[in-house]
Structure 1
């Protein structure tokens, strides 16, 4: 081994030791927050070649600073149900990093929400937002409130109470929340109304995902699902593959899933399965999207009703079985950690060619390692899932300029953003010694922009 190679190996080993040391500190400071630990480890491991090549980031403690939220807010949310009983939930907002712009990230209403999940999502959001090329920092929030089964009036009373407290910490140039799991147009509308009442005037740019009639952006509803498919399309194209004629599985049946299915179908794919939190449907003739939209967006029913409406379909209890269905392309669009190592092994054995993460970190670290080791094209969440926040940033821009772009204009900008994310991730992977590895590439490309901004702004 030459002296140059020895020095390079020594630098890499020193960087590994440094990254491991900081990761162990993060675990000690955040005991029991396993989701947060998972997100930190996945990103930290990718950054080893960066610290080997650029000692300035270690010297300025960028890793220590970027893994500690600038602010974590937890608050009580009391509200009254339709029976007149007082209920109490917990609300959260993590304002993780504002180096490149105001905090930006969705609000999640789901019983599983806790500080660990919010920090995991917020940490991921830093790098996802950086990748978009838009001037937005990383944040996330939510509550352990479950909107399922609640009346509109109950949802309104809860969201008004939630926003009464959250309004103290957000603003168009400070922190701009959006929707996530359990937070759609209804919830955003109620929260925006309460924010206006609290502030005594209209500040359209304080929330994104608003209705078209009061400051929302065309194509925002479609953005995350469309963006995921646009990203996977780039992955496939580089290998001479396409959606046309491919068999696709999409987990979930909410907003992201519906529009991922729609765009995949427009590109010539046959989508044969989708799911919700109770189970999944398999339709060998191809999912009828209009039926799914009617059930999930209009009637708010379970996906099991699909099999009653479509006699060619079969319904199965439980969610993980969806990954046993042979497919060319899998788009996990439901929730975190839905594909574990066992599901990954089945997908690989069945010949899956590409994975595009439409949800936030839906594959476990073990599953990701298996996909990469077996040559499966893998689009990580922070890249493939970035379409929603990209159009949220475009919504902010439209609100600031007091104008509205057409659907076609927004969709074209979204397509360009997703293409640029793919290209910058591939470039970073190549430059730092991991050609074709989009997990490493996306993490590094996202990190460098934020790290350089933090260096420029001093120790804050």
Structure 2
């Protein structure tokens, strides 16, 4: 049995109740075996066994009072997974589905994603099973203040720097930052995704979506193609989906779909980003309101967009949204590129099917690293007390995404899997972390 298989077997036995974490670990560890074969010292130093265990898992209760005067209690988490190359870095997810398995999968993925950016950031993740939807601003502030009252003990600009994620936008980051500042009596770059008036970075909102499209342009160039004239199906209707659609259409593509938890919209004229932003960002409404404003658009309730004909698919919603059946539909309708804008949105079976049918596949830890890359740039600006222009941040983002593509493509070729960006991204991200862990001894 290979070293990676041994560790996977141990994880399955120990964490049988954590399927998302097992899936993420299995996807990474299997692809690392060529690098492990080249470095037998990693096994003798139990590197994988250390890598798959978080350095720290923090769980706590979050009591708060709703608008009816009733006390509510949620469960909060912070997974500080690996700090070998820098302070823990990763978002805070606020959603009813949040549990230890999901946050461990996200934190584990974050290790390699952050490594690929070349910036000094370790991997972490956190959040709570709190749902901001339908809550008043006062209720959300009450929750965020209670959450930070416990979390502040464990974070700091040189220790752990949380950010936004699903359910945690500018409003929530503002409340969290305000409470941290009150408790610590200091202003510091302890959170990223902040408002521009108090240390945020231009282009941070756009970064994940823009970065995924920049990564896609390098994939197309590898095949001698360009983005102009291509059709794209996107899932999701949050930041990643909105700004991926915006950048793709700026570069000449036609984005046909977006989706939310209730269904998807197909717009034959191309998604109108201004209308979409008004519906989702300003009014916080459902996508049915988009259709009301766009007479040729159609809404498909309870369905996902992967049955539509397209050249490129970009799953930008949530984990495991693109199943084997969805992959088969994409291949049948001529899709030739899949770029993950969300974290692990494609099941293992679907990924294998797409690759076996010559679909050029980009894993999220590489393609959606633009968000955390600009978070890292926000940390740099805070540390230097500077504020860079949008164009300067965007140029740095483009450079980082080009570097990630080159690293993943080169590693795939060097370790016998040319063209397989899953293998390449995992190996390239892993080797930097492994070298740092080896240098720092058993810790």
Determine if the alignment matches structure 1 residue 383 to structure 2 residue 366.
Answer: yes
Please say if 1:441 is aligned against 2:416.
no
Structure 1 unaligned regions, length at least 5: 1-15
CA distance in 2, matches of 1:151, 1:372: 45
Q: Which runs of 5+ in 2 are unaligned?
A: none
User: What is the CA distance between 1:326 and its match in structure 2?
Assistant: 0.6
SS class of match (1:47): helix
2:282 is the alignment partner of 1:298: yes
- Partner residue of 2:197? 213
Among residues 327, 345, 348, which one is paired with 1:344 in the alignment?
Answer: 327
2:32 to 47, 55, 65: 47
- Indicate whether 1:109 and 2:76 are aligned: no
Q: How far apart are the structure 1 equivalents of 2:312 and 2:269?
A: 17
CA apart distance, 1:201: 2.0
> Could you list the per-position Cα deviations for residues 263-320 of structure 1 after superposition, in whole angstroms to 9, with x for gaps in the alignment?
0000100111101111111111111111100010000001111111111011111142
1:124 to 106, 109, 119: 109
What are the Cα deviations for residues 222-251 of structure 1, in whole angstroms up to 9, with x where unaligned?
Answer: 000000000011001110112100111110
Q: Secondary structure at the match of 2:153?
A: coil
Aligned pairs for 1:95-244 within 5 A: 95-203=80-188, 205-244=189-228
More displaced, 17-26 or 416-425?
Answer: 17-26
* CA distance in structure 2 between the partners assigned to 1:76 and 1:37 by the alignment: 26
1:28 positional shift = 1.8
Note the C-alpha offset of 1:141: 0.3
Could you say what secondary structure the match of 1:168 adopts? Answer: helix
The equivalent residue for 1:272 is 256
Runs of 4+ in 1 over 4 A off after TM superposition: none
- Provide the secondary structure at the position in 2 that maps to 1:159: helix
Helix, strand or coil: the match of 2:2? helix
Q: Which among 287, 292, 299 is matched to residue 308 of structure 1?
A: 292
**RMSD of aligned Cα (Å):** 0.7
Q: Which of the numbers 341, 345, 354 marks the counterpart of 1:358?
A: 341
Secondary structure of 1:138 counterpart: strand
Matched residue SS, 1:176: strand
Aligned with residue 64 of structure 2, among 79, 84, 103: 79
Q: List per-residue Cα deviations over 1:368-400 (Å, max 9, x = no partner).
A: 001111111111000001000000000000000
1: CA distance, partners of 2:198 / 2:178? 10
1:31 CA displacement: 2.3
1:70 aligns with 2:55: yes
Provide TM-score, normalisation by structure 2. Answer: 0.99
Distance in structure 2 (CA, Å) of the matches to 1:155 and 1:311: 35
SS of residue in 1 equivalent to 2:154: coil
Verify the 8 A CA contact 1:276 1:319 in the aligned structure 2: no
What SS class does the counterpart of residue 89 from structure 1 fall into? strand
CA distance in 1, matches of 2:289, 2:263: 11
In the aligned structure 2, how far is the partner of 1:74 from the partner of 1:171? 18
User: How many residues are aligned here?
Assistant: 443
Give the 5 Å matches for 1:382-401. Answer: 382-401=365-384
Does residue 414 of structure 2 align to residue 414 of structure 1? no
